[in-house]
Amino acid sequence: GAGVSQSPRYKVAKRGQDVALRCDPISGHVSLFWYQQALGQGPEFLTYFQNEAQLDKSGLPSDRFFAERPEGSVSTLKIQRTQQEDSAVYLCASSFYSGAGNTDTQYFGPGTRLTVL
Amino acid sequence: RKEVEQDPGPFNVPEGATVAFNCTYSNSASQSFFWYRQDCRKEPKLLMSVYSSGNEDGRFTAQLNRASQYISLLIRDSKLSDSATYLCVVNQGGGYQKVTFGTGTKLQVIP
């Protein structure tokens, strides 16, 4: 079946511009995660949804970052007034929440490479 | 101290060699552990989960040492196709879904 998809794959923004990044998780996956990955680093957690509920947004670096998942499926990560330090790859991952007390495998999308000039 | 620490490498090894990576974690409540593989400019993909008793999948062996709070990955008979970055991943405790990634260890297998 289809994996996690993200769009756009590449985005170039001028400093101060707003951007919106989209994630389509695997159908039926309850959990959805957003990560930020800088060059040479591991993915850094941004936020986590279980269905439409945003359970954890502790990793969002500033109030310029906002994420939503209104119908518990597609999610959008929005960055307002982009800054150069926002340049990174933004990864989305989804997992099937088994509710069995385990941490489930996360399946990643290809990422959106954001460059802020 | 970082929550999850890895030696960034790079590890340059000849084909056929055995190579081992270690990863230490700081949260003693962590219960779930994974190794992910990330190829250059690609997304991370699960390589294997790490179980308390240790587990093996072909040429790959993962082990967990709770007392010392580290996990390891052993790759035997390295192939050129094993060249990638290996990410250590640890959850926050119990069945919590949030995980923390290490910075990754880069492996380059040389012909």
| pLDDT at res. A77 | 98
- Contact between residue A93 and residue A105 where contact means Cβ atoms under 8 Å apart: no
- Answer for the pair A16, A82: CB distance below 8 angstroms, yes or no: yes
Q: Cα angle vertex B95, ends B74, B65, to 5°?
A: 30
Flag whether pLDDT at B32 surpasses 60. Answer: yes
Residue B53's pLDDT band (cuts 50, 70, 90)? confident
> What is the rounded CA–CA span in Å between residue B42 and residue A21?
17
* B104 and A CB contact within 8 Å: yes
Nearest chain A residue (CA) to B3: A44
Which tokens in the block code for residue A71?
């119908």
- Span between the terminal Cα atoms of chain B, in Å: 37
Q: What is the mean pLDDT of chain B?
A: 93
pLDDT at A1: 57
Chain A residues with CB under 8 Å of B3 CB are none
Query: Which residues of chain A are under the pLDDT cut of 50?
Result: none
How far apart, in Å, are the Cα atoms of A80 and each of A18, A77, B48? Answer: 4, 10, 37
User: Do B49 and A104 lie within an 8 Å CB cutoff?
Assistant: no
Contact between B94 and B79 under an 8 Å Cβ cutoff? The reply is: no
CB A68 within 8 A of CB A75: yes
Q: Determine, for residues A102 and B32 on separate chains, whether the beta-carbon distance falls below 8 Å.
A: yes
CA distance to partner chain A, nearest, from residue B102 (Å): 6
| pLDDT-based confidence at residue B93 (cuts at 50, 70, 90) | confident
Query: How close A115 comes to chain B (CA, Å)?
Result: 15
A4 → chain B, closest CA residue: B43
The residue in chain B having the minimum alpha-carbon distance to the alpha carbon of residue A101 is B95
**Alpha-carbon distance B103 to nearest alpha carbon in chain A (angstroms):** 4
